[in-house]
Amino acid sequence: MSEQRPCRHELMEWINIVSFAVDDVKLFLDTHPCNTEALEYFEEFKKQRVQALKEYAKFYGPLTLDTASSCEDHWTWIHEPWPWQEGGC
């Protein structure tokens, strides 16, 4: 059974949303490091960001080095459109 390929644009938009949420709460945690609600929020959105990046890498190629596959298929993302090109994001 094959998985349905997610919409590249929608997935990229979700990555931007959760990335912003993680970055924003990191700034808050700089001045409120013991705020448990903020720490829980950070962990939840960090998890969602990692999952979205992995899903994007699976279907469209890695956006970060963390989601690049093993060495045997390195640099294969050069064959996909770059995120700013037609057909990318």
In this structure, is residue 33 part of a structural domain?
A: yes
Could you tell me the pTM of the whole model? 0.75
Task: Write down the pLDDT at residue 81.
Answer: 72
Q: How far apart are CA 22 and CA 24, in angstroms?
A: 5
In this structure, is residue 3 part of a structural domain?
A: no
Question: Which residues fall within 8 angstroms of residue 14, CB to CB, at 6 or more apart?
Answer: 52
In this structure, is residue 85 part of a structural domain?
A: no
Residue 80, burial from CB neighbour count under 10 angstroms (0-12, 13-18, 19+): middle
In this structure, is residue 84 part of a structural domain?
A: no
Mean pLDDT per 10-residue section of the chain, whose length is 89 residues: 81 96 96 96 97 91 76 61 64
